[in-house]
Chains A and B, each alone.
Chain A
Amino acid sequence: MSKKKLGFLNRLKKQAGLQSMVIPGVIFMIIFCFMPIYGLSIAFKNYTVVDTMSTAKWVGFDNFLIAFKDKLFWKSVINTLGISFLKLLIGFPIPIILSIMIYEIKDGPFKRIMQTISYLPHFLSWIVLGGMMISWMSTTGMFNEILLSLGVISEPRNILLDADKYWMVAVLSDVWKEAGWGTILYLAAMAGIDTTYYEAAEIDGASRMKQILHITLPLLKTIISLNFILTVSGLLKSNLDQTLVLMNSQNRGKAEVIDSYVYRMGITQGDFSYAAAVGLGVSIVSVILLLTANYFTSKVNEESVL
C-alpha cells in the first residue's frame, strides 16, 4: 500500500510541470463554474440585499410558488415563447434555404461576395444593431421613408413604440443578423457532398429543383435535426442584449422576456432568491425540452443525434 502511494507521489512529482499547467484551469472551473452552481441554493432561501449566504433562511419551494402566481413572470414566459416560436418558424428555415442558394452558385467571386456580405451582420453587437434600428425605425428614418414612398402608410410612425409589432421586430432583426452566419454550418456540410450524385442526376434529366429536393436536402437531414434540437431546447432562452436595447416604456408589455425579468428582479431590485429561482426553473425546463426534442427526432431519424 505504502509502496503504491510512493509510486503515486513519484509519478505526480514527475509530471509536476504538466500539473502546474492544468491546475490553474481546474481552480478556475471550481471558482467560476462550480461555485455559481452551488450558489443556486439561494433559490431555496430568502436571500436579500441585507443577508449573507449563511444567514439567509431556508424557505423550500416558496420562491417557485411565488413565481407561479406572479402575473409578470407568466407575461415574460409568454413573450419569450412567442418570440422563440416565431424565430423557429422564420429563422430556422431561412439559413437552410439561403445556404442551398449560395451552394447552387457555381462561380467563385459571386459566391464569395455573397458569403462576405451575409456573414457581416453577425459581427455587429446588439447594442450597435439596436442603435441602428432605433434610427431606421424613427419617424424620419429609413423604414418610414421607404414605406411612405411605396404608399404602404400615409403617416410616419415609430415602429419601436408600437408594442404589437415588437415580437416581429425582435424576430426579423434577429434573422437579419444571424441568418447569414447560420449558413456556415450547412455550407460546411454541403462541401462534403460527393458531386457525382449531381452528375448522375443530371444525366437522368433531373432539374435543379429536383436535385435540391432529392439529393441536397436528404443529405443535410442529420445536421438539420441536430440544429432543430438545439433550437427547440433554446425555446425558453431569450436575448437579453437585444431586449435591453430595444425595450422602452411603450413596448415593455410585449418585450419583457424571462432573462430581462430575472435581470430586473435580481440585479435592479435586489430580490436575488426569487430571480435565481426563476432562472433555475427555466433551465430545468430547458433540459427537459432538450431531451424531449432529442427523443422525437431520434424517432424520426431512427438514430439519436445527441
Chain B
Amino acid sequence: MKKANISENKRFDIVNRFVLLLIAVIIVVPIWNIVACSFSSGKSLAEGGFIFWPKEFSFENYKAVMNDNSIWKAYVISVSKTVIGVVTHVFFCSMVAYGLSKKNLMGRKLYTSMGIITLFFSGGMIPTYLLMRQLHLTNRFMIYIIPALFSYYDVVILMNFFRQIPVSLEESAKIDGAGVWKIFLRIIIPLSKPALATIALFNGVYQWNDFMTAKLYITDKALYPVQMKLYEIIVQQSVKNISVGSVVMNTTSKGIQLATIVITTVPILIAYPLLQKHFVSGMMLGAVKE
C-alpha cells in the first residue's frame, strides 16, 4: 500500500516537473529568439530558418540604432521621466500618507472617502484628455510627472506601513521640539525604506513601460520616450510590411526594430533581480490596480 503510494508520488512529481519545464521553455525560447534575431545580419533575417542562434552573427542592427540620434534622445526622456517620476511620486504619496496616518487629523474621514472614490470611479479617457489640454500639459515633459504624482493605492499601503512604526520614536523627537515635517523627513522616511522601495520599483516599471501618456498627449517627437519611439518604429514597419503584400520585409528596419526592442527592455532586466524581492508586496499593488 505504502509502496504504491510512493511510486505514485514519484510519477506525479515527474509529470509535474516535465510540464513546468515545458512552460519555462515556452516563455524563454521566444524571448531568446528575439535576442538571436537582433544579432543577425539583414540577409539572414530575410531568409529566416533559425530560432536559437543567428546564422550570421552581426552587430549591424545595433550600430544602426546607435547611429540614430532620435533613439538616444528618447532614451534620455525615458530615463528622466522614470527617475523624476519615481522620486516625486514616492515623496508626494508618502507625505500625504503620513498626514493621513494620524488618527487626530481633522477632516480625515472626508479625505479618505475622497480617496476611496478615486479608486472606484474615474472620468475615463476623454474627460481626462480634455482636462490635460485645458491645463496646458499636452506636449510638455511635465505630463509624465504631474498626473502620475499621486495614487491612493500607494497611499493606503504607505499609511498601513507608517502605522506600524512605534509611536515612541516620534514622541521622543516631539519632546526634543521637532515638528511634523522634521519627524517625517528624519525619522519616518529612513525607517520606511522597504515600503518606499516597493512602491518606487513598481512605479519605475510603470514609468518606463508607459506609452499611452505619450500616445495621448505628446505630438512633439522630441518628447517621445523609448516606448513611444519603439511604437512608431513598429507601426511604420507593419505598414510597410502590409503594403509589400506581407511576403517581403524591409530587413534593415526589422533588424532596427528588434535591436530597439532589446535596448528598450534591458533596464527592466537589470531591475528585475531587485524587483523580485518585492514581488509579494508589489503584487498587492498590482492586484488592486488592475
Interface residues of A (CB under 8 A from B): 11-12, 15, 17-22, 24-26, 28-29, 31-40, 42, 98, 101-102, 104-105, 110, 113-114, 116-121, 123-128, 130-132, 134-136, 138-142, 144-146, 156, 158, 160-161, 176, 180-181, 184-185, 188, 205, 207-209, 240-241, 244-245, 248-250, 259, 262-263, 266-267, 272, 275-276, 279-280, 283
Contacts and interface: CB of A to CB of B under 8 A. Distances in A.
Given A17-B180, A33-B122, A25 B279 contact: no
A24 B249 CA distance: 52
Q: Which of B26, B210, B279 has the most CB of A within 10 A?
A: B279
Q: Which of B27, B98, B181 has the most CB of A within 10 A?
A: B27
B27 A118 contact: yes
Contact of A135 (B106, B205, B258): B258
Given A35-B123, A161-B242, A18 B129 contact: no
20 contacts: A18-B180, A22-B99, A29-B118, A35-B123, A35-B131, A36-B131, A37-B122, A39-B126, A42-B127, A118-B27, A119-B276, A123-B268, A125-B208, A127-B264, A134-B257, A136-B30, A138-B249, A140-B47, A158-B246, A266-B129
A283 to B, nearest CB: 7
B58 interface: no
A272 B134 CA distance: 14
Given A18-B105, A120-B31, A156-B48, 19 more contacts: A15-B102, A15-B104, A25-B155, A29-B114, A32-B150, A34-B118, A101-B16, A104-B16, A120-B27, A127-B227, A127-B231, A142-B33, A142-B51, A161-B242, A185-B283, A185-B287, A207-B12, A241-B212, A248-B238
For the complex, would chain B's binding face be called helix, strand, loop or mixed by DSSP majority?
helix
Contacts of A22: 96, 99-100, 105, 107, 111
B37 interface: yes
Nearest to B33: A142
Contacts of B123: 33, 35-40
A17 B12 contact: no
Contacts of B16: 101, 104-105
A17 B149 CA distance: 20
B126 A21 contact: no
B229 to A, nearest CB: 9
B69 interface: no
Contact of B46 (A32, A117, A140): A140
For the complex, would chain A's binding face be called helix, strand, loop or mixed by DSSP majority?
helix
B100 A139 contact: no
Interface in B97-152: 98-100, 102, 104-107, 111, 114-115, 117-118, 121-131, 135, 147, 149-150, 152
B205 A12 contact: no
Interface string B11-24: 01100110110011
Contacts of A32: 128, 131, 147, 150
B126 A134 contact: no
B79 interface: no
A42 B129 CA distance: 12
Interface residues on B, range: 35 or more
Contacts of B51: 142, 145-146
A125 B209 contact: yes
The 8 A-B residue pairs whose C-beta atoms are closest, nearest first, are: A36-B123, A140-B48, A39-B127, A25-B96, A21-B99, A125-B209, A22-B99, A17-B180
Interface in B25-57: 26-28, 30-31, 33-34, 37, 45-51
Contacts of A145: 48-51
Contacts of B276: 116, 119
A112 to B, nearest CB: 9
A18 to B, nearest CB: 5
Q: Which of A35, A36, A263 has the most CB of B within 10 A?
A: A36
B124 A280 contact: yes
B265 A135 contact: no
B48 A11 contact: no
B223 interface: no
Given A132-B30, A207-B5, A21 B98 contact: yes
B45 to A, nearest CB: 7
A128 to B, nearest CB: 5
Contacts of B48: 139-141, 144-145, 156
Given A22-B105, A25-B155, A127-B231, A134 B127 contact: no
Given A123-B205, A208-B9, A24 B92 contact: yes
B247 interface: yes
Contacts of B13: 104
B161 interface: no
B72 interface: no
Contacts of A138: 241, 249, 254
Contact of B102 (A18, A35, A40, A266): A18
Nearest to B215: A244
B179 interface: yes
Q: Which of A33, A102, A105, A125 has the most CB of B within 10 A?
A: A125
A24 to B, nearest CB: 7
